[in-house]
Each structure stands twice: as C-alpha cells, then as structure tokens.
Amino acid sequence: MSGLTTMAAGFPEEQVRERARTGAAAAFPPADTYGAGVFGADPSTPLDDLDVARLVPPVFMPRRLEKLIDLGREPEHTDVDLTAAVGGFRSTLPLFLSAFGSTRIGSRELGVAASAQAGRLGVPMVIGENMVPVHGFGGSPILARISAYLETVADGVGGVVVQQSTEDADSEVWNLVYSSPAAAPLLESGRLAFELKVGQGAKPGLGGMTVLDAAEAARLADRFSLHDVFGTDARLRCATPGTFTEEIVRQQIRFMRNNFPRARVWVKFHPGRDIGRAAEVAWAAGADAVTVDGAEGGTGWAPTAFLRHVGLPLAECLRRIGPPAGCLLVTGRMWEGSRVVRSLALGASAAGLGRAALVAVAEDPGAGLLRLAECLALEARLLISALGKYAPADLDADDLWWPGTRAADRVADPVRGG
C-alpha cells in the first residue's frame, strides 16, 4: 500500500503516518526536545476568550478625579500603584514566578537564575514538584533556589512557596523544608508557604511526566512508574496525579495548618469543570491562596492531545469561580500586560509567569526576567491608568467588553462583560 493518499479534505494524513511509524511515541512531542523546550497549548488552537475581551475605559472617571484632588495635579500612569497582596505575602507587582520543578530545563541553572531575579523583583516564587524524589533533598535544587532568592530579595516583600505532589509527600518534602536551616529566614519573616498541588493546566487529571535516559530510569525505578514509549532507551516517567475529593482537600488544608503553623497555605487546581466549587472548598477550609492553571499552561511534558483538547480555558475558569472569596492567582500564557490586567479585572490578585519567565531567563540569565517584568509593569500601569483607576484591586468586570455579547447578556452574566 506504499504511496497511498487520502482524498478527504482536512484528513491529517501525515499525523497518521507518524503514528504508523513510531507508535505510542507520537502521542508526545519529540522525545529529544525534552529538557530543551517548554510546552503549552498548541498555537493553532482558538484563542482563549480572555484574549478576545477588550478593555474599555469609560468617559467619566470619578476615581481619576479623586486621584487628582489627592495629588493636587493631573494623575499619570506612573501614579498607578502595582503593589499587591499575593497569598499572604506583599509583592511589588501583581505577579509571581510560577512553579517549575524536576524537569531539566527548570530545575538547575535556569531555575536558580530565575529565583535570583524573582528575588530582585520582590515577587513570590513557587518551587515545583518532584525535586526531592528525583534528586534527594541534599542534592535538590530547592535549597539552591531558596538561597539564590534570599540573597537578592528585599526585606518585607516576596515569599517562597514549596509545592508538593503525591511523590513529594512520600519524601516528606514539607517536613524537610520546614526544619531546614536554609528556610529559617523565610519562617522568621513570615515568607514561607506550602502549596498542595491538585493539578496543572498542561495535563488536567494527570501527574508529572518526564523523559529519562536508561541510567536515570534505573535509578528512579522504585519511586516512579516507568514506561517504554519511545522505541529507544528513553523511558517515560509518570508521577501519580493524586486522588482528591472535597473532604480530602479540607483534611489536607487542616493538616497543613496544624503541622506547619508558620507557613502560608496555597492550593493549585487544574482547569476542571468544577473549578468554582473547588476554589470555594479551599477558601472555606482556610487556604491563603488558590491558584488556577488554565489549559494554556505548562512548562513540562505532556501528551499533545492534552495540550490541544483537555481542560477549560482560563477565561471560563474565572467565569465559573465568579467573585473570589479569597486570594485568586492565575497562570496560563501570561507574558504581557493586557492579559494580566484582564485577569485582574475578573477577580485575580496576581498572575504567574511560567514559560515566559523561563524563555526570558534563557535569553539573559542575568536580567531577562527583570526586563520582561519591567515591560509588563509599564503596560499594566498604562492600561490601568487608561481605565481611570490607580491600583489593581480597583479593576472589575465593568472594565471588559466581550464581542458578540448583548447588553442583556452582560447584565445577566456580569463576569463576561460590562
């Protein structure tokens, strides 16, 4: 049958041929790109609704008048105060450095460089999952990243958040960090948090995945599930996603509060259809922050079917959550000011930089993230000022308009417009 061609319009013939040649390996990006790239939603997929919404300044701006009277002059965009409360921490910007963990691209040199720059910015930093199960605590990049952050962060701002997955729990990661002398300055200044990882945007419902060579696979065979997928010596390492119900989340947060009373409690959810209820449960149980990772997210490894077809876009997550009952943090394609400002208008307190941060640090390990944040902050100040407001917390859904919606629809569903 060599040379067979199909006549059906739009039939993905080349993709079928690739699967015929390589089998299960075709479910993932090329294995040789693991550790050298970052992954997320396929750019050919439709834009998230958040990118369709327009920011709409009013004609009459009473808050600008209030600012004018307060300043005794016409206010400018430089008068916008971007400091924010982020999960119990004071941040110089409504931003935080998103989690990236045991993947090669994020765990070593780039991770340490990103940590140092996040400290200089004075924004919170999340350290991702599976570092200790993969590297051990003594050799874990967790300590190097905490040290790099503490060397540069100013007093009174920022904070470090340590994420924990199922395998991390087995390795007692939170206990190790909480009792480590390296974390003592964070505890003493009230700038340590632990994040319960329930899921991530790149692969909702799945745990972490990485590609290992034969030697690394043999070393980790007793700690992770390994699979022969790629037809080479490379092995697919799978972490378990964990099992969660409402009561399990409540009990986990209660455990975190009781066992680590000096640490803040964060919870990270994937973009599930019940995200509104999940956030409500976490806040009611006492979480200091809920992070929602939209389906656009992902610095790690995921099947392309998940990147293209699984999980709610961030705009829909925000719609289902509605007015937040606590600190709401969001991630997913955050790299410029308008997407961040739109997220803030829909109730978020801050936005996480994941792939964008890694790309920026790879471009310039000394100052790439600083410059990215500088550009983003300028855009945010200009946009917020144009709306006649002077703090991120002043933004609301009235600042957005969604094409294709009628005035009656916007009244009935205020999260989608104003």
Whether residue 91 contacts residue 85, with contact meaning beta carbons closer than 8 Å, is answered with: yes
pLDDT at 219: 82
Over range 402-406, report the average pLDDT: 73
pLDDT at 212: 80
Q: What mean pLDDT value characterizes the chain?
A: 86
Give the Cβ contact number of residue 379 at 10 Å.
17
- What are residue 268's phi and psi, to 5 degrees? -110, 125
Whether residue 98 contacts residue 92, with contact meaning beta carbons closer than 8 Å, is answered with: no
Whether residue 382 contacts residue 337, with contact meaning beta carbons closer than 8 Å, is answered with: yes
Q: In this predicted model, which residue has the larger pLDDT, 216 or 176?
A: 176
Residue type, 62: P
Over range 152-165, report the average pLDDT: 96
Confidence of residue 80 (pLDDT cuts 50, 70, 90): very high
Separation of alpha carbons 256 and 196, rounded Å: 9
Domain boundaries, the chain: 49-393
Q: Encoding tokens for residue 292?
A: 């929602």
Largest CA distance in the chain: 81
pTM: 0.86
- Summarised one tens digit per residue, pLDDT across range 211-238 is 888 888 888 887 778 888 887 888 888 8
pLDDT at 417: 41
In terms of C-beta density within 10 A (0-12 exposed, 13-18 middle, 19 or more buried), how is residue 189 classed? Answer: middle
Over range 383-399, report the average pLDDT: 97
Q: Could you write out the DSSP letters of every residue in 322-368? A: -S-SS-EEEESS--SHHHHHHHHHTT-SEEEESHHHHHHHHH-TTTH
Confidence of residue 307 (pLDDT cuts 50, 70, 90): confident
Separation of alpha carbons 352 and 331, rounded Å: 5
CATH number of 49-393: 3.20.20.70
- Tell me, letter by letter, the H, E, C secondary structure of 141-153: HHHHHHHHHHHHC
Whether residue 128 contacts residue 141, with contact meaning beta carbons closer than 8 Å, is answered with: no
